[in-house]
Amino acid sequence: MCGIVGYVGSRNAVPILMEGLKRLEYRGYDSAGIGCVVRGKLKVVKKEGHLANLEAILPEGLSSTTGIGHTRWATHGGVNDANAHPQIGAGGKVAVVHNGIIDNYDALKKRLIAEDVAFTSDTDTEVIAQLAAKFLDAGDDPETAVRQTLELIHGTYGLVFLFADHPGLIIGARNGSPLVLGVGEGEMFIASDANAIVRHTPKVVYLDDGETVVVTADDFSTKDLRAAVVDKRVETIEWVAADTDKNGYQDYMLKEIFEQPESVARAFGEGGRLVPEFGTAKLGGLNLERRDFFDIRRVQIIAMGTAYHAAMIGAHLMETIARIPARAEIASELRCRNPIVEKETLYFAVSQSGETADTLMTLREIRSKGGRVMGVINVVGSTMARESDGGVYVHAGPEMAVASTKAFTSQVMSFVLIALLFARMRDLSLSDGKSLVADIGLLPDLMRRVLAQAEEVRRIARKYSSAASFLYLGRGPSYPIAMEGALKLKEIAYVFSEGMSAGDVKHGPIALVNEEMPVVMVAVKGDNLEKTIGGMEEIRARKGRVIAVTNVDDPRITRIAEDVIQVPETREALSPLLTVIPLQLLAYYIAVELKRNVDRPRNLAKSVTVE
């Protein structure tokens, strides 16, 4: 969950590292640091807090052609200067930056202390640096010292090593935490995320688990842990650095909310995924033969966080459109109960980054038992993308804000396409398929109409920004939207909020309702509308303050609700793509009113790569 960047070449590494860390700060911002080789010695500068704190103490004129950098999201050890990375081994000959958790660090630390090694931090990472230093002192070359170290540690890691006696050399290693190598002309880059290096080169190599890479300015060599050479393919990143700029918006999150009409259009338009004349979708990445569609009896979708809410909608779509029994599962819960894997079940794993540890480990568990897993993923070349049996790229583009918005709607759209394809392969008629395709094509313009109401949502946000807690309620496909709206408010405004089924609120939670509690209710045209309006009446009768998000012009809603946010009408199955936008904006504007750091909320990181 931390950010890693490294450079070796002919330019000054310091500004390159700092720029890379700025692009990775959303991955961790408890502390930051850089290390470089200066006249045969390691120079490490690190500081607690945001990257600006590190910038303020950088020595003027610091220059080196080899260096590593890190933004930390704390796991082991408190947030302070000593626990910031890079961590240095005894003797000052090796420094390391690390993303992940070393499970056996305590036993290793006790062993090293017994050998009179003095520790200066409380991190698990320092164990790695001290082990590498020990092997270097014993006469091992850097590559051997790293390999010997990796043989002793157990856990997850993305690691980059820097050596005082070997300027022009860095070594990376990966096990369960992403690392990507950037290949330039006479220079090389390494990072935990391609965002950090895409400004300098579009050519990348993705490391797999159990691989190390020895990097110099002109070459790299990738090996497995047995020192066998692994041939790697150099790939080209599709997007450019400009995609990660704010483009005049105050925050990345606001920019990404407003990018959703375009990102959803890419999700269904990339590669001609919609086939209007046949009323279906074309998703070659699923790698399914036509007969496979008849053999699948159930669908199970695994995910975490916001992706789980997209999975819930995906399961609803598979049942209502494709008429296949489907359910969404929190990946960490499914894995810990020894999942029953069935031959006739098709599994989907949903993740923006494609590196979410709980989802990735569950994917591996299902595949190890013979299950077939499809990925619904944003980041091309990610671990889950490579390890899935097939899948769908959502094409949301780079998402820099920690709180996911455009990736969520692109995931939902991907499930719309999947459900459409399955439905047409089974029993959805041509005319009904064509009708659904036509409605999908209208969505980007409908989303723009919702976004045009941003100032009205801002007014409502100001009105309720002092509320201590919120309830979010919905039924059917609006139930996951209620959960997603509540999650956004928790994530970026730090306001307690609970999303739940509007039908379940009477079974206990309605006791919380009073005149001080705003209750956001999503009411859309469809089978659940009457019951939802009835629920509004019940909330209002208990003096709850109702904020309605609706696509119907019903005088009962305007009478009951204190505030109404109107969205355009579409079929109920597609309504989540419109109703979620006001909830994203509501959370955003409340957070702004409360002066929160919207893009980098406390205690959170963009990609949860540790279990």
Same domain for 206 and 165, yes or no, is yes
Q: In CATH, what number is assigned to the domain containing residue 362?
A: 3.40.50.10490
343 labelled catalytic:
no
Taking the C-alpha atoms of residue 93 and residue 130, their distance in angstroms, rounded to an integer, is 10
Q: Is residue 221 part of a domain?
A: yes
Q: Is residue 587 part of a domain?
A: yes
On whether residue 540 sits in a domain, the answer given is: yes
Burial of residue 60 (CB within 10 Å: 0-12, 13-18, 19+) is: exposed
149 and 201 together in one domain: yes
Tokens 């009179």 found at: 116
Is there a domain that residue 70 lies in? yes
Local confidence band at 1 (pLDDT 50, 70, 90 cut-offs): low
Share of the chain above pLDDT 90, in %: 79
In a domain, 217, yes or no: yes
Classify residue 605: in a domain, yes or no: no
Of 383, 416, 445, which residue sits at a domain end?
A: 445
Quick one: pLDDT at residue 610? 59
Task: Kindly state whether residues 431 and 473 are assigned to the same domain.
Answer: no
CA 404, CA 394: separation in Å to the nearest integer? 13
Token reading at 607: 């990609």
The 3-state DSSP class for residue 155 equals strand
pLDDT digits (tens, 9 = 90+) for 167-203: 999 999 999 888 999 999 999 999 998 888 988 999 9
Distances (CA, A) of 147 to 109, 174, 517: 18, 12, 57
What's the pLDDT score for residue 169? 97
| pLDDT mean over 388-401 | 92
Who's near 55: CB < 8 A, 6+ residues apart? 18
Q: Report which residue type is found at 368.
A: S
Q: Are residues 341 and 196 in the same domain?
A: no
Residue 2 annotated in active site: yes
Strands 66-72 and 3-8: antiparallel
Query: Would residue 180 count as lying in a domain?
Result: yes
When divided into structural domains, the chain yields a total of: 3
**CATH code of residue 145:** 3.60.20.10
Q: Same structural domain for residues 236 and 369?
A: no
Provide the greatest CA pair distance for the chain: 82
Arithmetic mean of pLDDT, 582-589: 98
Whether residues 257 and 183 share a domain: the answer is no
262 Cβ contact partners less than 8 Å away, ≥ 6 residues apart: 444
Check whether residue 480 and residue 545 sit in a common domain.
Answer: yes
Which among 445, 470, 502 is the end of a domain? 445
Where would I find the H helices in 190-275?
A: 252-258, 260-269
Q: Report the phi/psi class of residue 370: left, alpha or beta, with left for phi > 0 and alpha for psi in -120 to 50.
A: left
Write the pLDDT tens digit of every residue in 532-555: 999 999 999 898 899 999 999 999
What integer pLDDT is reported at residue 246 of this predicted model? Answer: 84
Q: Rounded to an integer, what distance in angstroms lies between the CA atom of residue 547 and that of residue 467?
A: 13
Residues 230 and 257 occupy one common structural domain? no
| Domain C-terminal end among 215, 242, 269 | 242
For residues 134 and 229, state if they share a domain.
yes
pLDDT at residue 239 tops 90: no
Q: Which domain holds residue 439?
A: 252-445
Q: Is the pLDDT of residue 334 over 70?
A: yes
pLDDT-derived band of residue 13, with 50, 70 and 90 as boundaries? very high
DSSP codes of every residue in 260-273: HHHHHHHHHHTTS-
Helix 478-493, helix 305-320: angle, nearest 10? 170
The answer as to whether 247 is a domain residue is: no
Residue in 561, 583, 552 with CA at minimum distance from that of residue 309: 583
- Same domain? For 480 and 431 the reply is no
Q: How far is CA 395 from CA 269, 296, 350, 406, in A?
A: 10, 26, 13, 10
Q: How many of the other CB atoms lie within 10 Å of CB of 361? A: 17
| Same domain as 202, residue 139 | yes
Q: Are residues 388 and 274 in the same domain?
A: yes
Q: Name the active-site residue from 2, 22, 488, 490.
A: 2
